[in-house]
Structure 1
Amino acid sequence: MLKKIKKSPKIKWAIIILLSLLAIFLLFFASIYFGAWGKLPSSTELKELKQNRATEVLAKNGELIGKFYVFDRQPITYKELPPHLINALVATEDARFFEHDGIDNRSLLRVVFKSILLQDDSAGGGSTISLQLAKNIYGRKDYGALGIVVNKFQEAIIAKRLEDIYSKEEIIRLYFNTVPFSDNTFGIESAAMKFFGKHTSEINLEEAAVLVGTLKASHSYNPRIFPERSRLRRDVVLEQMGKYGYLTEEEVQEAKQRELVLNYKSYSHDKGLAPYFREQVRKDVSKILDTLKNKDGKKFNIYRDGLSVHTTLDVKMQTLAEEALKEHLQNLQKQHEDAWGSAAPWLTNREIVNDALKKTSAWKNLEKEGNSEAEIMEVLNKEHPTEIFSYDGTETKNISTRDSVAHYLKFLNAGMLAVTPETGSVQAWVGGVNFEHFQYDHVSQSKRQVGSTFKPFVYAAALENGIEPCEYFSAREVTYAKGWTPSNSGSEEEDPHMNYNLKEALSNSMNTIAVKVLMETGIENVVNQAKAMGIKSDLPQVPSIALGTASLNLTELTEAYTPFLNNGKTSKAFYITKIEDGEGNILAEFKPEISDSRSISKTNRKIMIEMMKATVNEGTATRLRTTYGLRNDIAGKTGTTQNNKDGWFVGITPNLLAVTWVGADDHRIGFRNTYIGQGANSALPVFAKLMQKMNSDPAFNDITQAKFAPLPAEIKEMMDCDPEKRDGFFKRLFGGGDKDETKQPEKKEKKEKKGFFKRLFGGKDKD
């Protein structure tokens, strides 16, 4: 035989070729094995597998409300994987998983024989769970024409190493924690939460089959985009489970009859619950992490290190707040547009539209290219398909960039912050009407004139400086420095001889009296009072400050109202409680920040609450009672700024403080008239709708059924006066009463405060 081989050149060359091919193959394999095509992970590295993990943002009850990630992945343990999920995976992806050592030789032979020789596409891919895991962890690189071969060999080597290091259960766990699902989601926990709103341990048989079914082609079988196609793929998975004995035929048929029901929850930065709040948390956490280092001495990465950020947010209240704001703003938007009609500034005011246009990236890019303003305008006036926001849903229209800018200028926006006043802990945070299209946060970023919501600081300062609740002030108009003459909204004619006490003046938001109280108290005293209560912004020392001409941030205004409910002490807005690493170790912990001293006495605090209760019961906020039928214990203050640019409402209950602002993003665009733009119509309804929704949910009974403490007898006595009184005969005959206020007042000396007992007995005021 050997002689024949030696004599036969064909056989001899065939052997040489085979041996050469074998040698080339071995050299090729060795080059891959020893890293010539890229370093392969060692056994030591594989033992310490660490994948990028999403950072979770958790509400106060531990519920997941958002994530920060490069890849949306959240690892879980093997015990959290339900048996039917594991069975679905094995039956569909690797039926002999528990028998092979990472490479299924039988499957490979089948693929080679059927797919290559017989051209049978039904042969399958021959890829095992271990091979897929290797691909999931390390991905594939482009090696040119040999890319697929090199990648396959690399995956086989890694798969064998993984099988040597990890048990089958551990490989299943690693696989489920790394495999990509639909919608750029990595890992079963993230997929279960996104598509079904459940933890992995809670998903049922059909849900498990849906998710496993997407592994064949994550986009093609995306249950959100292609529900029917996903359902059919689910049924294939169920049939595979029946084929390999994991389900009976009856169980398969029953499961196939059930509908595919999703509970989709996006955790992307611009969708889902509380996007404005989550963005603020992201900014804050990033700054905090800059001051911390991990055990390796490196800084933590918010997108990769799988941290847990615990917050104070109440998921139910946040959901209701977002619903309330959207419901009201949608109706208010129609009123706003109808009132302006064809005279709308976003249609007629070229300056406003052009200013907004120049802020767009389209304008800036064209300007960088050296185009003139005329050339830029020509380009931006050309129509093209554009996706635009509307309350009925995002739609695509054929409009120009300029028209798109005008479209967004017309929208009213809003901000709402609800806190627990004793601690400042944030319960709900709505920064705008739609984060995807309006990313400017009106809770944390915006500063607007606050209108009459500033008046309580004026009256608090008055009380603190000795003015009595029953002191009367004339509603008569007076001209101040620079010819400024404030008037009262909605009262065409007033009796010039009528005087009102503080409660009546505040509850009906009388501008003329607010300024007189400010001047009597002293502007500097009022400014100091506001600062002591939590206002951080600069306050102009002018008479008009009494009417809220100062521009303040919504958060600081909220904080400044907390002393009225928190025993005179200011509570800083507080929303991050702690940050943990992936193993549950606390990296940073935070407590409420409450001022050490009181900014208002107990007596005056209670008087102020009583005066703001009157605003709701008989003053400018009565529609809480009449229109919305609320019977809760509520105090409050409405606010409207000049030319109806801003509407405000501060809603006060014993256990919840909520502040709402409504207006256009461009401060030059206001409401057409006071009827629509006043705080009672523009901002108050958001709070009213929120309270209505909370009243319907027993979970909020501790807020909705809470009562203000009964007013002590001595304070009742202090406030027991007629709401108004008329000037006497001689005063009406000879005039007097109102001081000449055409000059700036000199600094007022602080009056001695006189409490009820001091007035009665001459002793110290009981506080």
Structure 2
Amino acid sequence: MAKKVQKKQQQNFTPFIKWFWILFGTGVLGAVLVFLLASWGMFGEMPTFERLENPETNLATEFISSDGETLGKLYLDDNRTPVSYDELPQNLVDALVATEDARYYDHSGIDARGFIRALAYLGKRGGASTISQQLARQLFIGVRDKESTTNAILQKIQEWVIATRLERNYTKEEIISMYLNIYDFNYNADGIRSAARIYFGKEPHELRTEESAVLVGMLKNSSYYNPMRREELVFNRRNTVLGQMAKYDYITEQEKDSLQALEMKINFNPESHREGLATYFRMYMQRWLNNWVKENPKPDGENYNIYLDGLKVYTTVDSRMQKNAEEAVQEHMKNLQAEFFRQNTPKQNATAPFLDISRGAIDTIMERAMKASPRWRVLKREGLSEKDIEATFHKKTEMTVFDWNSDSYEKDTIMTPMDSIRYYKTFLRTSMMSMEPQTGHVKAWVGGIDYKHFQYDNVIQGARQAGSLFKPFVYAAAIDQLRYSPCFTLPDNQYSIEPGKHGNMEAWTPKNSVGEYSGENMTLKNALANSVNTITAQLIDRVGPGAVVALAKNMGIKKEIPAVPSIALGVADVSVYDMVGAFGTYANQGVYVKPVMVTRIEDKNGSVLYEYTPETKDVLSKEVAYAMVNLLEGVTLSGSGVRLRNDYNKNNAFYKRVITGYPYNFTNPIAGKTGTTQNQSDGWFMGMVPNLVTGVWVGGEDRSIHFRSITEGQGAAMALPIWGTYMKKNYANEEIGVSKDAFEVPEDMSINLDCTQQAEEEKIETEDDLDDLDF
């Protein structure tokens, strides 16, 4: 009887067991089918095997300094430079795993325990997305409509499928580095390397545990948990991450407590095309690269994309020297500008900032500037008439303008666009380039005072009259072709070159800057040191303007130079770029080396695409080149460059008020030359030590914008202080290796440089001649 009851009960349960297995099997087959459909792309496009092997991410072009630092990047939307797993600090990896996926090393893309927990608690105790799933979402899916439950489920299924594929194709370490490289941390911080640099001013491997915790905390939602917007919220999120690290034994409880007590220190370093280090240089490199990619296509014939293909451009610029150069420019120009404003108030100068020109001429300058402005070009393209466009220039509008007195060098104001044009013209401009003469490697490049507001690059785009800075070309031609020595003497008397000679249309009678003539014989060394115009006029008359022009061209001057005597005093326009290259010829024993900015270009895989070949030219003999160095050393020993040596202007109110870092008190050999043009419109200084040649120019955007007095407007006051400050900063860091040694003297030097000994010998010869006379 009992057996019959038991059998009957079994028969009663049989349908339930049968349906259980049917439903279970159907569920399994349905799940398999869903996953198959997802993998076949029925719920949305799925990545091919090739895409899994080569995920498509936009990579920025990176400019790398000669000392291994990133100067900046070129990108459109993604400021991304990937790093390998080996470049990640262990504390960052530990924080990521502890916070985002504690069982990361135990699953194959899907965390079943996490998924069941998320279902049971409806996500209140954490989600179930593994790091692999999050990477899948970032790389291949994106974000669907969150309000649609169906879409959310389909996205999760796709994530699971792609995550398992990623786990089959990549190691755990590769997945971590890919995830951190792909994530957008906001403020152009695309990927962990940009994030570390932008939020902490560091490379990823330099991150401390508490800093890594901040960045890992941002992975939850970088817009919401952003330290620049919600500091307290991010601080608490950081401490949550540190708590997770302690929970999973990556740090001790004691370490957690001490780290959570630390203040959150953000060192914000925004990276954009208009901000950061070497902005003018980077923008020059952008133009250079655009030309390079046109001439050097990929093997398949397509051009490289300088914003997306992750090129690495190894430059010659030294980040430490670049920083010193930019600081020197800012320190001096801020003070010099304050002095310029002090002397050019509307009360003192009714046409400020313009001097010595009519109001009609000023109107012409302003109209030309208006029509050259971006606003005019944009409105012109939109089809507005010139009359309507001009009307917009006289309507007040809100704008942000440059201001030396603000910590950010900006201020918000309301003015008309026309007034803003005049406002910007009140600012003095500058440019500076520093080069290693033996290699041509450009070590620093500053094209202006602030790229964001003054985008014209005065290093290579600008060209201004050189003034006395051009005189060394005349002296070099005379020494080279007439075999004069620095001790050769000429009289300091009024000197004229008659009409018709050397293509001169009229008689040319230059005056000395002081307007007087000593009447004494002067050595070339003394004449150049004191920039005596009459001596330079005699030299160009003897050697001929054509020879001077030919020499300047051989030394890298590209601008057209008229073959007339007046070029001796620097009436021709030259660029800082060309002048630095030319003066490098003297320091490099007569060999011109074309300035070099790029040594190598690599693609994102490290394959070398370009290596530079030096361009050199033998221009002067070693003896002539050293004779010129000797002449130029005289400028800093007894001429206009003596300010580098001692407290030459200790009682000068201008120097006390304006010149930073003065006196410089350099004791090492320095060759240099100042240059000042008519009306003090341009101030120059070129300074050389054996392994560094640096040129500086300062002036207004227009020649009519200048100091009234030569005391403030000469090259020794406007440009030389930037060089002095820059070199003091370089010498303060011995690792940079700027030389303090003497210039190398050629063997068998055939040109006499000892003017004292020559004078004594000439005196003895004269006395002997007198003794031989029969009175």
CA distance in 2, matches of 1:701, 1:32: 62
Q: How does 1:580-591 map to 2 (within 5 A)?
A: 580-591=602-613
Cα 1:279–1:263, aligned 2, differ >3 Å: closer, same or farther?
A: same
How far is 1:323 from its partner? Answer: 0.7
Unaligned ranges ≥5, structure 2: 1-8, 13-24, 500-504, 647-662, 763-775
Distance across 2 between alignment mates of 1:555 and 1:573: 8
Q: How far apart are residue 290 of structure 1 and its match?
A: 3.1
| Mapping for residues 706-717 of structure 1, pairs under 5 Å | 706-707=742-743, 709=745, 715-717=752-754
Secondary structure of 2:105's counterpart equals coil
Closer/same/farther in 2, CA of residues 542 and 719 from structure 1, 3 Å limit: farther
Q: 1:360 aligns with which of 373, 376, 386?
A: 373
Q: Does 1:472 align with 2:490?
A: yes
Matched, 1:647 2:683: yes
Tell me how far 1:458 sits from its aligned partner: 0.7
Name the aligned partner's letter for residue 166 of structure 2: L
Q: Give the 3 Å change call, closer, same or farther, for CA 601–380 of structure 1 in structure 2.
A: same
**Is contact 1:84–1:208 with CA below 8 Å preserved after alignment?**
yes
Q: Does 1:96 align with 2:96?
A: no
Higher mean alpha-carbon deviation, 543-552 vs 373-382, is at: 373-382
The residue that corresponds to 2:68 in the other structure is 62
Q: Match for residue 308 of structure 1? A: 312
Q: What is the CA distance between 1:480 and its match in structure 2?
A: 5.3
Let me know the Cα RMSD of the aligned residues. 3.4
The residue number in structure 1 matching 2:630 is 610
Question: Take 1:184 and 1:534, find their aligned partners in 2: how far apart are those partners?
Answer: 40
Separation in structure 1 between the aligned mates of residue 753 and residue 352 of structure 2, nearest angstrom: 50
Contact 1:182/1:214 (8 A) holds in 2: no
- Tell me the residue number matched to 2:524: 502
* Residue in 2 that maps onto 1:736: none
Q: Residue 330 of structure 1 corresponds to which residue in structure 2?
A: 334
Q: Cα–Cα, structure 1 residues 87 and 701, in superposed 2: closer, same or farther, change >3 Å?
A: closer
- 1:128 is displaced (CA, Å) by 2.2
**Do 2:495 and 2:537's aligned partners in 1 also have CA atoms closer than 8 Å?**
no
Determine if the alignment matches structure 1 residue 518 to structure 2 residue 540. Answer: yes
Identity %: 38
Question: Which residue in the other structure is 1:215 paired with?
Answer: 219
How far the C-alpha of 1:675 sits from its partner, in A, is 2.1
**Distance in 2 separating the partners of 1:44 and 1:331:** 59
Partner of 1:14: none
- Per-residue CA deviations over 1:46-79 (Å, capped at 9, x if unaligned) read 1333533333222112222222234222223323
Give me the whole-angstrom Cα distance separating, in 2, the residues matched to 1:377 and 1:131: 57
Q: Structure 2: how far apart are the matches of 1:677 and 1:404? A: 25
Alpha-carbon offset, residue 429 of structure 1: 1.2
Shift of 1:561: 1.4
Question: How far off its partner does 1:419 sit?
Answer: 0.9
Question: Once the 2 structures are TM-superposed, how far is the Cα of residue 276 of structure 1 from its aligned partner?
Answer: 1.6
Among 168, 175, 178, the residue aligned to 2:179: 175
Question: Of residues 500, 508, 514 in structure 2, which corresponds to 1:491?
Answer: 514
Equivalent residues of 2:508, 2:566 under 8 A apart:
no
How much has 1:683 moved relative to structure 2? 0.8
1:568 aligned residue (585, 590, 609): 590
Amino acid at match of 2:278: A
TM-fit CA distance, 1:264: 4.0
Partner Cα separation in structure 1 for residue 117 and residue 293 of structure 2? 53
Per-residue deviation, 1:446: 1.4
Q: Residue in 1 aligned with 2:55?
A: 49
Change (3 A) 1:713 1:23: closer
Distance 1:706 1:63, change over 3 A: farther
Aligned 8 A contact 2:690 2:741 in 1: no
- Displacement of 1:382: 2.3
Q: Deviations over 1:379-431 (max 9, x none)?
A: 22222221111222222112222222222111111111111111211111111
Q: Distance in 1 between matches of 2:703 and 2:30?
A: 75
CA deviation map 1:88-143 (0-9, x unaligned): 1122222333344433344445445544xxxxx84444332122101211252667
CA distance in 1, matches of 2:541, 2:755: 23
Contact 2:490 2:535 (8 Å CA) reproduced? no
Given that 1:425 and 1:592 are in contact with CA atoms closer than 8 Å, whether structure 2 keeps it comes out as no
Distance 1:83 1:578 in 2: 32
The answer as to whether partners of 1:65 and 1:267 remain within 8 angstroms in 2 is no
The one of 539, 558, 572 equivalent to 1:536 is 558
Name the CA distance, whole Å, in 1 between partners of 2:447 and 2:229: 29
1:638 paired to 2:638 = no
Measure how far apart 1:623 and its partner are: 1.3
Alignment match, 1:281: 285
Aligned residue among 390, 398, 402 for 1:385 = 398
Post-superposition shift, 1:244? 3.0
1:295 to partner: Cα distance:
5.6
Distance 1:434 1:484 in 2: 44
Describe the shift of the 1:601–1:77 C-alpha distance in structure 2 as closer, same or farther (beyond 3 A). closer
1:635 is aligned with what amino acid?
Answer: A
Tell me, in whole angstroms, the C-alpha distance in 2 between the residues paired with 1:33 and 1:719.
92
d(CA) in 2 for partners of 1:456, 1:319: 30
Aligned length: 704
Equivalent position SS for 2:753: helix
- Between stretches 642-651 and 600-609, larger displacement belongs to 600-609
Match of 1:527 in 2: 549
Q: Which moved more, 1:527-536 or 1:561-570?
A: 527-536
Tell me if structure 2 keeps the 8 A contact 1:473–1:499.
yes
- The residue type paired with residue 430 of structure 2 is A
Counterpart CA distance in 2 for 1:638 and 1:423 is 24
Q: Which amino acid aligns with 1:543?
A: P
Say whether 1:202 aligns with 2:202. no
Aligned residue type for 1:629: N
Structure 1 residues 126 and 684 mapped into 2: Cα distance closer, same or farther (>3 Å)?
Answer: same
Deviates more, 1:654-663 or 1:713-722: 713-722
Q: Is the 8 A contact 1:59 1:65 kept in 2?
A: yes
